[in-house]
Structure 1
Amino acid sequence: MLIYSYSVFIFMYFVGLMVLCLKCNHLLLMLLSLEFIILSLFLGLGVYIVGLSYESYFMMIFLSLSVCEGALGLSILVSLVRMYGNDYFNSFNVLW
């Protein structure tokens, strides 16, 4: 059961990385794939901590930091959409 959980974690992580690499022109899809990677890391951390029967306080700290990261990413997305009108990377003048 533990090996199956690790394989699911690794599969989720690499699918998130693949989507992040393939959809690099849309900021919203990049943020969603980053949240998916964070979710897979949380799953892997949970499997690791439960497997070794450690305390799960670090999981709560990791979860709170990932929520802060998601809120920061959404605030950046909202400010860019208000400023430029869309969330495509190739239309930003700041990056060129």
Structure 2
Amino acid sequence: MFNMIIYMFLSGLFVFCLFRNHLLILLFSLEYLVVSLFFLFFLFLVDYELYFLLFYLVFSVCEGALGLGVLVNIIRSHGNDMLSSISILSW
């Protein structure tokens, strides 16, 4: 089970590092990393600290909502979610 979680985390990190074209792909890979870390925390902390898992889930949901808000704002202002078309100087 531990090896599968490590494989999940490394594959999510691989996608995050290599496929940086679209912001939506980055957000999906970040959420995949969050879920794999949650499984790892659940594996080790299920008997001791369930409140830590609850706080972790709350902050990960807030992170996902913030990422989607940024994605919607970028799509409205630039027309697409490609990171290469976004320039800091255009704002």
Same fold, TM-score > 0.5, yes or no: yes
Q: CA deviation at 1:9?
A: 1.1
Which residue is 1:80 aligned to? 74
Q: TM-score scaled to structure 2, two decimals?
A: 0.94
Structure 1's unaligned 5+ residue stretches are none
Letter in 2 for 1:36: Y
Which residue is 1:32 aligned to? 28
CA distance in 2, matches of 1:36, 1:81: 22
Q: CA 1:49–1:79 in 2, change beyond 3 Å: closer, same or farther?
A: same
CA distance in 1, matches of 2:89, 2:5: 34
CA distance in 2, matches of 1:95, 1:49: 46
Q: TM-score scaled to structure 1, two decimals?
A: 0.89
| RMSD (CA atoms) | 1.4
Structure 2's unaligned 5+ residue stretches are none
Q: Runs ≥4 in structure 1, deviation > 2 angstroms? A: none
Which residue is 2:48 aligned to? 54
Q: Structure 1, residues 20-51: CA drift from partner, whole Å, max 9, x if none? A: 0111111000000000000000000000113x
Q: How many residues align?
A: 90
